[in-house]
């Protein structure tokens, strides 16, 4: 993991405003990194940053927008994680609202654990991650080798 991180930002509808506020509050730190968002979240973050930052500050942002989560954005992020193209994920999900694409969300969270991707599911954890000295330094995460799990037979 390089100093310049590739940071995935995702939020369910009821949590989008929370994530937008967090991004705006941390904009000066985040502009040093590449931001990858699911579609609607990315569009809303861009709109807010355009209106709240100077043109010079906003010009330093790189926001890559994928498809909306329910339209495949969660799977796109999962594939990027598997391909080593995501370093961190901030995913403000809504624990109080069932999601029609809940299986996609669960699969995405499973992949972050499998590939040892630091993941924040709430603002406190996101604050801890962005405040860590590791956020601005190179870091070499340890990835567990799960290849034995694939070939292991189940004994009954």
H or E stretch including 74?
Answer: helix 73-82
Comparing C-alpha atoms, which of 18, 66, 60, 62 is closest to residue 40? 66
Active-site residue flag, 74: yes
Catalytic residue from among 13, 74, 94, 145:
74
H or E stretch including 107?
Answer: helix 102-114
- Strand ranges across the sheet with 34-37: 62-65, 34-37, 6-11, 88-92, 119-120
Positions marked catalytic: 74
């Amino acid at each position: 993991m390089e100093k310049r991180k590739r940071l995935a930002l995702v939020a369910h509808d009821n949590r989008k405003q929370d994530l937008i506020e967090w991004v705006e509050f941390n904009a000066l730190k985040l502009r040093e990194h590449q931001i990858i968002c699911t579609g609607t979240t990315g569009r809303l973050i861009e709109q807010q940053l355009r209106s709240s930052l100077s043109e010079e500050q906003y010009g330093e942002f790189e926001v890559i927008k994928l498809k909306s989560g329910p339209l495949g954005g969660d799977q796109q992020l999962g594939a990027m994680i598997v391909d080593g193209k995501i370093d961190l994920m901030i995913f403000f999900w809504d624990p109080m609202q069932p999601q029609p694409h809940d299986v996609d969300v669960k699969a995405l969270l499973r992949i972050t654990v499998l590939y040892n991707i630091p993941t924040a599911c709430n603002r406190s954890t996101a604050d801890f991650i962005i405040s860590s000295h590791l956020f601005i330094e190179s870091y070499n995460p340890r990835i567990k080798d799960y290849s034995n799990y694939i070939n292991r037979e189940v004994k009954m």
